[in-house]
Amino acid sequence: MIGTTCKQYRIDALLGRGGMGKVYRAQDTRLDRLVAIKVMVAAGDTLKSIALEPGPRGDEQKFTGEPHLLPDGKSVYIHTFNCGLYLLRGVDTPHPTTSFVQSFRGKNCGVPILTGHYWVEPVPEAHALVALDISDPEHPREVSTLAVGDDEEPHWLAIDPAGRRLVLNSSGGGKGNRLFIIDIDPATGRLSFDDRFRDAGSDRPGISLSARSWPHGFTGSARPHGTVFSRQ
C-alpha cells in the first residue's frame, strides 16, 4: 500500500490502525497538499475481539472508551463509561488478556487522562476527580480526590503538553456548566484548583457558562462538552 498511488493520492506512510481499518498519510497530487486517508477493513480480513469480564457490580465492562498505552510501553488501560477500568496485557502476542482492576462510583463516568504514572478519572456521581497511582497497573492506588461541587458533574479532561495542568468541563443543574483549570503535582498526584481561573467576584473556582451574554448576540447558557489544550 505504501508508495502506491490511488487516483490522485500517493500513499506515504501508515499513521494508525483500529478495528474499522487503517489511516494513511498521503499526498494529494492534484491539490499539492497532505491528507489523511482511511481504508476500511476489507471483506475476508480477520478481526479479533477481546471480551471484558464484568466487575463486582456486574456491568462495569459496558460502553468501552479509548485505550491508553501505559508507561511500560506494552500494557494498556481500557476505561468504560460504566465506570470500569481494565488492564490489557500481551498486545504484542497472538493471545492478549484482560483483567478488571478498578471500578468507580456510578455508571456514567467521564473521559479520563493518563499523565506519567497517574490516571485521573472524572466521576460524575461522586462530583469529583479521582487520581490513581498506577505504578503497579494491576493494583492502582488512589492518591487524591478533588470535589468539584455537589451541583457539578465532571465529564471531560484534557492535559497541557507539560503534564501539569488539566482543563475540565462539567455540567449539571444549579451552578453547573462550568470550566475548571486543575493542577496536578507530578510527584504526588495531588489535584488542586487553579483558583485564579474564576469568574470575577465569584467565591468558587471555575468559569460558569450559564446565563451569559455572548459576543454573537445570544444570551443564555452553554453546556461545555469536550475540552482540549492547544499550543499557539
Which of residues 145 and 73 earns the better pLDDT score?
Answer: 145
Q: What is the pLDDT of residue 131?
A: 97
Q: 109 pLDDT exceeds 70?
A: yes
> What's the rounded mean pLDDT across residues 137-164?
91
pLDDT band for position 47 (50/70/90)?
Answer: very low
SS (H, E, C) the chain: CCCCEECCEEEEEEEEEECCEEEEEEEECCCCEEEEEEEECCCCCCCCCCCCCCCCCCCCCCCEEEEEECCCCCCEEEEECCCEEEEEECCCCCCCEEEEEEECCCCCCCECEEECCEEEEEEHHHCEEEEEECCCCCCCEEEEEEECCCCCEEEEEEECCCCCEEEEEEECCCCCCEEEEEEECCCCCCEEECCCCECCCCCCCEEECCCEECCCCCEECCCCCCCCCCCC
9-13, 121-125, 152-156 — which one is most confidently predicted on average? 121-125
With a cut of 80, say whether residue 93 has pLDDT above it.
Answer: no
What average pLDDT score do residues 183-209 get?
Answer: 91
Query: pLDDT tens for residues 205-231?
Result: 988 887 777 777 777 777 777 777 776
* Whether the predicted pLDDT of 197 surpasses 70: yes
Does the pLDDT value for residue 7 go beyond 80? no
| pLDDT for residue 145 is more than 90 | yes
Q: Please report the pLDDT score of residue 139 as a whole number.
A: 95
Over the chain, what is the mean pLDDT?
84
